[in-house]
Amino acid sequence: MGNYDVAAFIWPSYTGDEPRTRIFWEKGFGEWQTVMAMTDKGGYEGCRWPRKPLWGYVNEADPRVMEMQIQTALDYGVNVFIYDWYWYDNRPFLENCLNDGFLKARNNGDMQFYLMWANHNAEYLWDKRNAGEVDEVIWRGAVTPAMFDEICDRTIETYFKRENYYKIDGCPVYMIFEPDNFIRTFSSTDAAKQGVERFREKVKAAGFPDLHLQCVYWARGNYDWLPDGDPCKGLPYADVMLYLGFDSFTNYNWGGSVWLDGDYAALTEKYKQRLREYADRGLIFYPNATIGWDNNVRHKKFMPGVVRNNTPEAFRNACEMVREFLDGECERGRLRAPLVTVNSWNEWTETSYLEPDDLYGYGYLEAIASAFGDK
């Protein structure tokens, strides 16, 4: 394959091995329960559901399943997995997909991985019985400074020290999904900045050159919600993240930069323009390739915001656009790695996945191979 680091996000819910998941998916096989409910329902008018995974409703915490998935990913040019990683109620959540599936797969050393701390609030979105009807926070994504130190220590020891943990210039990459909750963990941007510095010192003490801290980019307004006297009050989003000490940006999906609704080719052009704007600002921005968006799998009633015409061919064109941007930024010396993030490996309930289905087969994986493979 080519010389790119193609990193696909993994939503680690397609397993029922952790008992706490049953408050959302009581049948015991994770969010496959939601996918199967939409499949049985036959979708809704104008959508392309029902869809079925060609590999079946597999347990992705089973190392034998992950051995097959790792090899398939590598065959098509995906050489990094980014695991959504959670910490709720003073302990990890949904970690068994990574620990019991991926890390126990016999070929896991062939695939690199890194973590995205998905520190958003947990609400009833994951529970189809109540999604959109119960507005209540189950667990908050913000933690305490002491708990953040515990997360750092555990992450360094459990994950960073593995040979296949993804690094840029020898520095382990760690992504944070929700910077607002990260700031709320510390109560001010100055305290959050100090938390980042402590994390860096811990990483250096473990023998690494430094930490590469990556931020999910969100197109948000100025930070007027910060308390009076905070040095970042009123500043734009990117400036606040740079103040905190983030090394680079990427998107979880294009929704962080453009409104995900409408024709896929048009959205590709809009995202291309956003990438250009980020580069013109001088941001260290690793581009994202998003397959699609339709979150109606999780809802009882139709919710607006659906990406249409996102065929494998259209996705290949988007990947080629992203590759050209990435090549240009690497040639200019702005980016230290040929890294592109992909949404996603298995976001079935957001209709944005590389895993093969009965609609397009292996089409999206073939698009990755075509765009990022050897020419």
Q: Tens of pLDDT along 302-361?
A: 888 999 999 999 999 999 999 999 999 999 999 999 999 999 999 999 999 999 999 999
pLDDT given at position 375: 45
User: What's the burial of 179, exposed, middle or buried (CB within 10 Å: 0-12/13-18/19+)?
Assistant: buried
If DSSP codes are grouped into helix, strand and coil, which group holds residue 363?
helix
Interval 244-257 mean pLDDT: 98
What pLDDT digit, counting tens, does each position of 265-276 carry? Answer: 999 999 999 999
Interval 96-113 mean pLDDT: 98
> Per mean pLDDT, which range of 107-111, 300-304, 307-311, 370-374 is the poorest?
300-304
pLDDT given at position 46: 62
pLDDT given at position 299: 86
> Per mean pLDDT, which range of 16-30, 54-68, 355-369 is the poorest?
16-30
In what helix (H) or strand (E) does residue 36 lie, and over which residues does it extend? helix 32-41
What does 193-229 look like in DSSP terms, one character per residue? HHHHHHHHHHHHHTT-S--EEEEE-------TTSPTT
Q: For the CA atoms of 317, 319, 325, 331, what is the dihedral angle to 10 degrees?
A: -120
What pLDDT digit, counting tens, does each position of 182-224 carry? Answer: 999 998 999 999 999 999 999 999 999 999 999 999 999 899 9
Percentage of the chain modeled with pLDDT above 90: 88
How far apart are the two ends of the chain, measured CA to CA in Å? Answer: 9
pLDDT given at position 99: 98
What pLDDT digit, counting tens, does each position of 115-163 carry? Answer: 999 999 999 889 888 877 777 899 999 999 999 999 999 999 999 999 9
In sequence order, what are the residues at sequence separation of 6 or more whose Cβ sits closer than 8 angstroms to the Cβ of residue 205?
Answer: none
| CATH code for the domain defined by 5-372 | 3.20.20.80
Q: Is cis: bond before 344, omega within 30 of 0?
A: yes
Domain boundaries, the chain: 5-372
Q: In angstroms, rounded to a whole number, what is the distance separating the alpha carbons of residues 26 and 16?
A: 9
What pLDDT digit, counting tens, does each position of 229-242 carry? Answer: 999 999 999 999 99
pLDDT given at position 128: 83
pLDDT given at position 300: 82
In what helix (H) or strand (E) does residue 371 lie, and over which residues does it extend? helix 363-372
Average predicted confidence (pLDDT) for the chain: 95
